[in-house]
Structure 1
């Protein structure tokens, strides 16, 4: 467990999955490998199947607070396990997080939310949306729309969103481009002040 930095480990007997043992169970029952067979009935039998979507796997791991999720075939044979690290790597790939580009966070009321309008505004600035997330706080009618875009140059998109009365809550982009933008605006302001 320490080697893989997990707090759960699958128990398998000749490829047959028996359950998931936690470090807490091992400590609580003071188990050693030879005694594990005496605690088989206490093992968590949570598992996933190879055809399940990653969203389902994430929900199971989150709800059960497990660090490893065993994957089984139709005959209940152990195929392998998914760790939280595996899940994070897959999400990073799935959501284009490693792709070049900036991130915008737009705050709005639920009633104002329109994927079509947001997409149209962004794409009218020759920028593509790589991934799109919604973060709504429980009990609130305000949500954050998080956009991963294929460009680090976000000033045109931000200005267009603001023209449509969207509140841009946060901008994450390449710092050098942001510094250039601020420098350009500062230079323009200084020219204006000299007039």
Structure 2
């Protein structure tokens, strides 16, 4: 089966852990698996995730309910796009994220390997194209302008994302196909974008290099 929707990767291979479960049983559960966290429910309601690192230090004779104060409360919605889901993984340093529907009902979980697999199936990675990394002052950044620059040079934008940012600068990674890569690069420069990535097709850089080589040769005569 070809999966085209991230929701196809929601898993229920293992049931959520109930708060009345013993710590010893949960420790055994984590010993057999590689999850960094796992969802906890109370009377069927998701109340947080327990950490594999934390549970190693807990008293095995007690129950999960005795350690509710240690639970971490991150989750993703079933209708989230994959980039937002990846952000949940990254911010919480986890390899498993519980999924809730719009009514806050627990419906399963995502594993990081499955989300990465979905990412690999996206057009952004699968379709051939060129990667360009540009940066600009944060106050002047415009995603619509970036798309316009690519498309005005007969390029097709396959995808883009903010790959780095601070208070002053936004760095954007984009993948394009079709069109003249050099013309796109030069248009970005005319709109005061810095080109972070290197490209053989960049006539401006090639010209500078030729001039530098000529100057070095002249000075060494």
Which of 146, 150, 153 is the equivalent residue of 1:122?
A: 150
Structure 1: gaps spanning 5 or more residues: 173-177
Normalized against structure 1, the TM-score is what? 0.64
Distance in 2 (alpha carbons) for counterparts of 1:107 and 1:68? 33
Structure 2: gaps spanning 5 or more residues: 1-29, 215-221
Which of 166, 173, 188 is the equivalent residue of 2:193?
A: 166
Distance in 1 (alpha carbons) for counterparts of 2:146 and 2:76? 36
What's the counterpart of residue 148 of structure 1? Answer: 175
What's the counterpart of residue 162 of structure 2? Answer: 134
Structure 1 residue 26 and structure 2 residue 55: aligned?
A: yes
- 1:101, distance to aligned residue in structure 2 (A): 0.8
Taking the TM superposition and a 5 Å limit, the aligned residue runs for 1:1-195 are: 1=30, 5-11=34-40, 17=46, 19-29=48-58, 31=60, 36-37=63-64, 39=66, 41-42=68-69, 44=71, 46=73, 47-54=75-82, 56-73=84-101, 78-93=106-121, 96-135=124-163, 137-139=165-167, 141-151=168-178, 154-171=181-198, 178=200
| 3-state SS of 1:149 partner | strand
8 Å contact kept, 2:153–2:179? no
Distance in 1 (alpha carbons) for counterparts of 2:136 and 2:110? 36
Distance in 2 (alpha carbons) for counterparts of 1:121 and 1:74? 38
8 Å contact kept, 2:185–2:202? no
- 1:24, distance to aligned residue in structure 2 (A): 1.4
Q: Give CA-to-partner distance per residue, 1:62-92, whole Å, 9 cap, x none.
A: 4433332222457766422112233334445
- 1:127, distance to aligned residue in structure 2 (A): 0.9
Normalized against structure 2, the TM-score is what? 0.58
Count of matched residue positions in the alignment of Structure 1 and Structure 2: 177
Tell me the C-alpha RMSD between the 2 structures.
4.0
Distance in 2 (alpha carbons) for counterparts of 1:122 and 1:41? 51
Q: Give CA-to-partner distance per residue, 1:6-49, whole Å, 9 cap, x none.
A: 21123468966564221112211153xx7555645345263444
